[in-house]
């Protein structure tokens, strides 16, 4: 590996670590659950993404083989992060009376799925 590629790999690792740190910081410092939910779903995605790009780059340059697993990790992350966030939000709305009062009405006034009995 030349100095340039090593620098590129290192840069991606540092960028990834920085975004992961910011995501965790947001999770710790934002004031309520709904706002906290924004930090791990977004800042963390780019952090992991940058780390995976670094890993792919490193292994391509080291043994010339493209890692497919990194792409799959990204795919699974994009599939699971929104599902987890949705379940946490639903649980929070279900348990938190003050939040339930703030909710806007749904489009056809049928109410939100978490708060209505299934028919």
Report CA-CA distances (Å) from 42 to 11, 15, 18, 85.
20, 14, 13, 11
Q: Does 25 bind other proteins (CB under 8 A)?
A: yes
> Is residue 98 close enough to count as binding other proteins by CB under 8 A?
no
Taking CB under 8 A as the rule, does residue 106 contact other proteins? yes
Choose which of 8, 13, 17, 34 interacts with other proteins (CB under 8 A): 34
Q: How far apart are CA 21 and CA 31, in angstroms?
A: 18
**Closest to 61 in 3D by CA, of 117, 119, 4, 5:** 5
Beta carbon nearer to other proteins, 6 or 100: 100
Which one, of 23, 41, 115, lies nearest residue 80 by Cα? 41
Report residue 98 CA to chain centroid gap.
26
Residues 77-96 that bind other proteins (CB under 8 A): 78-79, 81-83, 85-86, 89-90, 93
- For tokens 């938190």, the residue is 96
Stretch that binds other proteins, among 6-14, 42-50, 55-63 (CB under 8 A): 42-50
Q: Which residues bind other proteins (CB under 8 A)?
A: 19, 22-23, 25-26, 29-32, 34-35, 37-39, 41-43, 45-46, 68-69, 71-72, 75, 78-79, 81-83, 85-86, 89-90, 93, 102-108, 110-114, 116
């Amino acid at each position: 590996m030349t100095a340039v590629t090593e620098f590129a790999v290192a840069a991606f690792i540092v960028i990834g670590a920085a975004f992961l740190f910011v995501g965790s910081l947001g999770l710790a410092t934002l004031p309520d659950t709904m706002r906290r939910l924004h930090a791990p779903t977004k800042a963390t995605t780019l952090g992991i993404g940058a780390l995976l790009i670094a890993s792919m780059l490193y292994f391509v340059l080291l043994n010339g083989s493209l890692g497919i697993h990194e792409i799959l990790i990204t795919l699974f992350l994009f599939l699971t992060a929104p599902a987890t966030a949705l379940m946490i939000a639903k649980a929070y709305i279900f348990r938190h009376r003050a939040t339930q009062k703030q909710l806007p009405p749904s489009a056809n006034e049928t109410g939100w799925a978490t708060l209505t009995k299934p028919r």
